[in-house]
Every structure is written in C-alpha cells, then in structure tokens.
A and B are shown apart, each in its own frame.
Chain A
Amino acid sequence: MCETCGCGDPEIVPIEVQERILSDNDAQAGHNRSHFKGLGVLAINLMGSPGAGKTAVLEATSKAAAGRLKLGAVSGDLATERDADRLNAAGIVSSTITTGSACHLDARLVHHALHHFPSGDRDIFFIENVGNLVCPAIYDLGQAANVVTLSVTEGEDKPLKYPVMFQKADLVLLTKVDLIPHLDFDVAAVEDALARVMPGAKMLKVSARTGEGIDVWLHWLEERRPAAVDRPPEAHHEHSHEHQHEHH
C-alpha cells in the first residue's frame, strides 16, 4: 500500500538505497586514482573562477620547475584549445578536454583524457578545471589535492559566497598579488573569510607576472609527491583493466 501519496496501489514498495547520487562518478574517480598511483604521479585538481589565473600559474610553475620536474596538464575548455596551447608552449605536456556546455569536469572525462594523454612519465599532472566557483568541487576526479585559485581582483568575500569550493580546497592560491598595490584589497579579510569556510585554511600568495610565491607553491607540490620508490613503469595504454574502455 502506498503510504505517502494515498493512491491505493497495493504494490508500492519502498526501496532503501542510501547512497550518494554521484556514486558512479566516485567509482570512476577511484579508478583514476589508481591510475595516478600506478604512474607515481601527483594529480592536482586546479579550480577557480574564469580568468582567476589558473593557466598563468601553471605557466609560471613550469618556468620555475624547468629541468627539475616533468609536468603534464589537461585543461577543461568549453570550446577552444587555447589553454592547452599556452601550456604546451610553456613546456607542460598538455591536452584539452572539450566540455561543450558542461560547466565542470567529471571523472569520466578525465579518465578518457588520461588514456589518450601523450606522455606517461609525468611527475605532476594538473587538471585545470572549467572556470567556475560552484560545481567543479562536487565532482571527485581522482586527484590527490584540490587547489583553488582566487585572484585579488575578485574581492575578499568570495570564500563566504562560495563556501563549498573553499571548504573542499586543500590549498588556496591567492593570485595576481602584483596588483595589490593598485587595488584596495585586504589580505587579512580574505584570510579571515577563508578560516570560516575552510578547515585548516591554507593560502599562498602568488604572482604569475613577477614569479612571487611560485617557489613556495612548488615546494608545497613537491612535499606531496608520492615517494619515488622503484615502481615498475606503467605503460600508459597497456595496463590491464577488468572493464572495457570506450576509446572514441
């Protein structure tokens, strides 16, 4: 008997599920995580508003890490390949995930990009998410850490307005700090806002323009790299899977 809508149908039954609606994405993200582990690569989900300086930070990171670390990146882009072109020009092996109208990357898109990625020997693999301060945070991609860029031109109250994004962040990069002298931006106010939405709030000030803070950021990354034990190199397309991958 349907107890809720009173339709009188004798065969209505409640089926208990109690599971995350995005459990499929979670499972796919877990699979991506095992790829990253097998490759011995540190995967970073880089998020932030459109134009916050995600690509610029990666360009500056590449410059600072030149000769020391092999960097890779995939960029979620609505329609163009501009970011991947910029990153390749900066020495980061990169490909584009064309998202069309989607406002975020999900684990399946990243998995597909990973299987088509031109290099399997990267030390750090950046996933430049679609510029958006809301939904990218909802989708686990299999990353080791979430990093959110917040530029000084966006205002100190952004963490309070978009708490979900900042709550899930392992690190916030305050970008374009070279502009602070020209703005009326209060660093202490953004630190206070962050402390109210992000447990163990951690923020680094960087400028892709001047290179300020990039060394500290690089150090943060290096500390998180998986220990370089003698792992058998995982050939990217040859590893065995129980399931099928559609390669389109």
Chain B
Amino acid sequence: MHEYSIVASLIDRVQHEAALHGGSRVHRLHVKIGELSGVEVDLLKTAFDTFRERTICAGAELAIDTVAPAWACPSCDRSLALGAILRCDDCGRPARMVQGDEIILERIEMEAPDV
C-alpha cells in the first residue's frame, strides 16, 4: 500500500520544515489530494494515524482537501465533461488535465517560536 510511503515522505518533509523554522509540535497538516492522483484518501488517513506516533506529527490532524478532476483543450481552453472522450470536439486535440492529480503538502500549522 503506497499510502504508507507517501506518509513517510510527508512526515520527512514536515520534519525538515520544522528544523528550518525551529518548530516543535505540529498541530495540523493541510494536504491536497486529487481524485485522479492514485492516492486513496481513507488509506492515507489510516497510514498517517499509524505513522505519526513518535514523530514530530504525533497527535497532529491531517486535513485533506480533495480535488475533482477536470480536463480542457490545451489550445482552445474548452472544458470537457467527465467521462467523455478526451479529445476536443472543436479542434480535435488531446485534452490536458487541468486539475485532479495533486499530491501536495499545502501548509503546516506548528508551534514555531522562530517565525
């Protein structure tokens, strides 16, 4: 289950930011997960709850913002309906994903007297 390896990378990153800012306890993490990112939100939560103990994230909350997929034509910007053929009706070009594959750490809320 790759959600565990994503959580490991997440906690590493938080650790790094905490060191940079002289932070100690983390209260909350805000992440953005696209519905077409390949990451299951429920599994990510479970993995986080398991892994956070004895790390800087112990007791922290994981706030997940999910992002619905959207596709558009790269040349005329027309947006495509979900489930449609991924080709622009007007100009025939293959669609481009506008959003929906995010696996992003947005923000960390932590106790950091140095900021």
Contacts and interface: CB of A to CB of B under 8 A. Distances in A.
Interface of A: 2, 4-5, 7, 9, 11-25, 102-104, 106, 134-135, 137-138, 163-165, 167, 192, 195-201
Nearest to B105: A17
Contacts of A12: 27, 109-112
B115 to A, nearest CB: 4
Interface string B71-94: 100000000000111110000001
Given A21-B10, A21-B103, A24-B12, A7 B2 contact: no
Contacts of A134: 2, 38
Contacts of B13: 17, 19, 21, 23-24
A137 B38 contact: yes
Interface of B: 1-2, 5-6, 9-10, 12-13, 17, 21, 23, 27-28, 31, 36-39, 61, 71, 83-87, 94-97, 101, 103-113, 115
A196 B87 CA distance: 9
The majority secondary structure among interface residues of chain B is mixed
Contact of B86 (A5, A14, A106, A199): A199
A5 B107 contact: no
Given A11-B111, A138-B39, A22 B2 contact: no
